[in-house]
Structure 1
């Protein structure tokens, strides 16, 4: 977010510096917290222990706060009861001593007040704790000076509010105040009470330090805090141990499952005891054993199937050769036969071609399945290969009314490939495009960059339904089995093409939309063994996406090089 233009330049510069500082700080903090977040996501035990610690800390903290506050209140109530009882006796004694004086101007009254305070202080059982007794007259009885048993300033303890409460209501009042005594803060429980006399209003104040109660309350809080921390740590340890008992078998199951997925089918979990985790381990082992048996059985069936396909393909070669020789002889003499017999000879020749193509495809598939397919790579120019494929399929395209539009660069496109396999892939792609082209043009485009070459074959026929772009490379799969086919394919062409592309370390991909045709893209690395990252041509046709600069697709491809065949 940019700073508003109306701000002064120094302010905007400062804001930019602050934004940059915060961004850098946020990135550093993110890098610092990344290991913790990663461990939090990966470790179930860490999450359980952390949540247990947080929940137990909240519960123990709330309980400890309640216990500490309740204990402090109980101690204060007990001190209040004791002080209130002592206060009643002191008021009674002071009233009896002062009642002998009938008027405030009695010269002996001040001495009696001093003596009474001294006696009340000496009789105080809590004197060693620092209790203070203060006897004073109200503002209308000025003949009596206030007397305090201790040499200390009581103005912070005996406040104006307390004095007003005692003098106005004539009742006992109390408050808890804190004052500085001997250089430290001390909490006092202050009681004030009127003393009945015959000459005026006298007030007695009793100040008791709550040092003992505060110390006891602090000890209780410390005990509760230490006990709570110990309890939280103990709960964390217990949660960690309990979680470990559950997490370890789960981790063992995860590791065993990973080994099974890697192909180590003999891996099993260790079964200890007869509890639920042991039942889980036993069930997992049973599942793994069943899975191993099924995989072994399927592998055996697949091996037998591959062997059967290979054996049948090879065994059929001999009778096919004999039949082919006889069929070629009959086909060469067909002009001497009746029209019906001549037509039968032509059909026999065509079906033998299809049968031989099927055997060739089956043999190629069996080599791929057995892992015997080898790449005979060499540096070759793809331009003549693409042109040769287009030339060979021109006759078929003319019969079905399809025009082949060839777009290749003027310069050679050299790549390390197996020319025979790449020509077979392109022949399959172009043949399928012609077959499904619905009489519309088919575009064949070749492009390259520094790392890859790509060939796209675009038709405008029936297209592919959503999801079928992944099925077209399955063996014997057809988008519409009911359609009349012109080329007599075996249903293995695209599957073999995909294997050829994979053998080169390349990609063979498909795109299609119903009624909008389809496009297949073959992408190969320029150097054999290199890893593909991107393709020079897009998979989705350019007529389906917004127009882009052709130089962004391929700097060496120009529309002037398009050739219509």
Structure 2
């Protein structure tokens, strides 16, 4: 009696075995599919082998069939000639008898059969000659040479055809003279006599024909297999000659894209592949020359900007001193002159601010910007920014709302740079707020701190999220240059965020305002993964619904510092956060 525990474990064991086999088969299939997709040489060789195998297999089948047909036709022709001659001979021998009961008839039949079989009843050629006389009432016994039971190999159809006076043949398989079944070509012919019709049969073994056809088939298949292997090897060699330079070109292109501009391909010979390598090297040389030229131009441009900014400092200081003196005495001037003094003072302020921003950008471009990180509380930093911009907010009629924790928000930051970033973000929000409130939110978690600045102005059009951090870019180019800053604020802010290892991202929708999010690591040098605050504002998720929010983009430096563009957040996430 089987163990119940063993019986109960069998289905689970079978499922586990099936699961393992399925997983192994899936891995093997995945590996083959991966190799098929990645290797041109494997695809070419495989296709060559499959197509050549089909062609060779079809050719072998046709050749073997043709050889078999020829051998069988030759055997039929030979047996038919022998049968015709034998039937004529038997008819002459039986023409002396008019009755089947005559005493010498049976001996004549035996002699005729032996003669037609070759004269030796014990011959070993395998051919069997038989004679029957079913139409004379069973008075003549069937005879064959050699003496065998041949009747099972005569089908009713063949017997009927011969009895009807026709010469007919069939291929039958049976055992006559040997110890195993053999394929026979059975030919039958009627022999007319005065006492009735006699049937003469030849049983010719097809062993030799089958052996010859089998040998021909084997020879053709082996030759075809060798040809297929040769074609596969030839395809592999030819493909390798073509693929190897392509692979070398791909590796060289990868090194070039990685910045190794001195990489070149080896040029061997004068064929098309050599021409490809030479053209590739020429292209790489031209690209290297252009890249170096552009780098030199960029370096000269940055140096020019830095030098001009520094050189303008000295005359600007002198002009500033004279302008301050004129501005201080403007009350004693005529109204038009006093207004000119005020305009001069304002434009000098803008010019000085532009020079300061250009110098800062040149430091970032030259890689000289240094982060002076120290543990600092972001709450007073946010308050200082709001206090500095409160006058501007009052003039344009914008209310600044604060949402900051009551407890300190400590992080390792450069307070000067963070304050500059927030000043740019809040200043832009106030200027573009269309008189509506601007909300500043400060949040933190265990790994990061974040500040969002939300306005309800004109917002950003689709695609402008990609341009908002570009230098000297404005959402509305037609606006007068008196409004807004230098056009470098957000670019400098983005560089400040990158210097901290943080993110500066933007979201916006036409007519629904915009929101900028600054995310910084709580400890200097840590890698950011998430932000404590969401980029898409909660009110935008409620008011827009699924259609609008799903199409918005966020742009900013990703975890690796590269500028990234992607969906701001999915609607289910937005609704879940709004609900919470």
Same fold flag (TM > 0.5): yes
* Corresponding residue of 1:509: 505
CA distance in 2, matches of 1:535, 1:370: 30
Shift of 1:96: 1.9
Tell me, yes or no, if the aligned pair for 2:52 and 2:228 is still in contact at 8 Å: yes
Taking structure 1 as reference, are residues 549 and 132 closer, same or farther at Cα in structure 2, changes over 3 Å only?
closer
Match of 1:417 in 2: 413
What is the aligned partner in structure 1 of residue 115 from structure 2?
119
In structure 1, list runs of 5 or more residues that go unmatched: 1-13, 559-565
C-alpha offsets along residues 468-500 of structure 1, whole Å, 9 cap, x if unaligned?
Answer: 111111111111122246754111111111111
> Counterpart in 2 of 1:85?
81
Give the count of matched residue pairs. 542
Task: Output the CA distance in 1 between the equivalents of 2:143 and 2:337.
Answer: 149
Distance 1:450 1:157 in 2: 97
For 1:490 and 1:364, locate their aligned partners in 2 and report how far apart those are by CA, in whole Å.
13
Q: What does residue 8 of structure 1 align with?
A: none
Cα offset for 1:409? Answer: 3.4
Equivalence for 1:205: 201
Q: Verify the 8 A CA contact 2:100 2:136 in the aligned structure 1.
A: no
Contact 2:454 2:513 in 1 (8 A): yes
Q: Does 1:273 align with 2:240?
A: no
Q: Report the secondary structure of 1:201's partner residue.
A: strand
5 Å-filtered alignment, 1:189-200, equals 189-200=185-196
Give the secondary-structure state (helix, strand or coil) at the position aligned to 1:393.
Answer: helix
Deviations 1:159-185 (A, max 9, x none): 222112222x31111111222464433
Go from structure 1 to structure 2 and tell me whether the alpha carbon gap of 1:107 and 1:403 turns closer, same or farther (over 3 Å shift): farther
Label 1:125 to 1:213 Cα distance change in 2 as closer, same or farther (>3 A): farther
Q: 1:287-298 alignment to 2 at 5 Å?
A: 287-298=283-294
CA contact (8 A) 2:506 2:535 kept: yes
Aligned residue among 445, 450, 454 for 1:449: 445
Shift of 1:230: 0.8
For the residues of structure 2 that align with 1:526 and 1:378, how far apart are their CA atoms?
A: 11
Distance 1:425 1:89, change over 3 A: same
8 Å CA contact retained: 1:445, 1:455: yes
Cα 1:413–1:118 shift into 2, 3 Å: farther
Separation (CA, whole Å) in 2 of partners of 1:125 and 1:220: 34
Q: Give, in angstroms, the shift of residue 367 of structure 1.
A: 0.9
For residue 206 of structure 1, give the secondary structure of its aligned residue in structure 2. strand
User: 1:446 and 1:507 mapped to 2: Cα distance?
Assistant: 15
Query: Which position in structure 2 is the counterpart of 1:100?
Result: 96
| 1:135 Cα offset (Å) | 1.1
1:173 corresponds to 2:168: yes
Question: Which of 1 and 2 has higher RCO (CA within 8 Å, sep 6+)?
Answer: 1
- Do the aligned residues in 1 keep the contact of 2:188 with 2:200 (CA within 8 Å)? yes
1:193 positional shift = 1.2
- Tell me which moved more, 217-226 or 237-246: 237-246
- Partners of 1:106 and 1:544 lie apart in 2 by 124
Distance 1:475 1:491 in 2: 6
Give runs of aligned pairs for residues 352-431 of structure 1, distance below 5 A: 352-431=348-427
Deviations 1:277-320, CA, capped at 9 Å, x for gaps:
22211211111111111111111111111111111111122222
How far, CA to CA, are the matches of 2:121 and 2:323 in structure 1?
A: 136
Q: For the Cα contact (< 8 Å) 1:354–1:488, is it kept in 2?
A: no
Q: Which deviates further from its counterpart, 257-266 or 545-554?
A: 545-554
CA 1:129–1:424: 2 relative to 1, 3 Å: farther
SS of 1:128's equivalent?
coil
- Does 2:66 match 1:70? yes
Asked whether the 8 Å contact 1:510–1:520 carries over to 2, the reply is: yes
Q: How has the CA–CA distance of structure 1 residues 153 and 441 changed in structure 2, closer, same or farther, with 3 Å as cutoff?
A: farther
Query: Which residue does the alignment assign to 2:29?
Result: 33
Residues 91-140 of structure 1 show CA distances to partners (whole Å, capped at 9, x for unaligned) of 11222222222122334333322222222212599953311111112265
C-alpha deviation, 1:366, in angstroms: 0.7
Note closer, same or farther for the CA distance 1:428–1:325 as it changes in structure 2 (3 Å cut): same
Separation in structure 2 between the aligned mates of residue 464 and residue 200 of structure 1, nearest angstrom: 115
**Residues 516, 550 of structure 1: CA spacing in aligned structure 2 closer, same or farther, 3 A cutoff?**
closer
Aligned-residue Cα RMSD (Å) equals 2.8
* TM-score of the two chains, using structure 2 as the length reference: 0.86
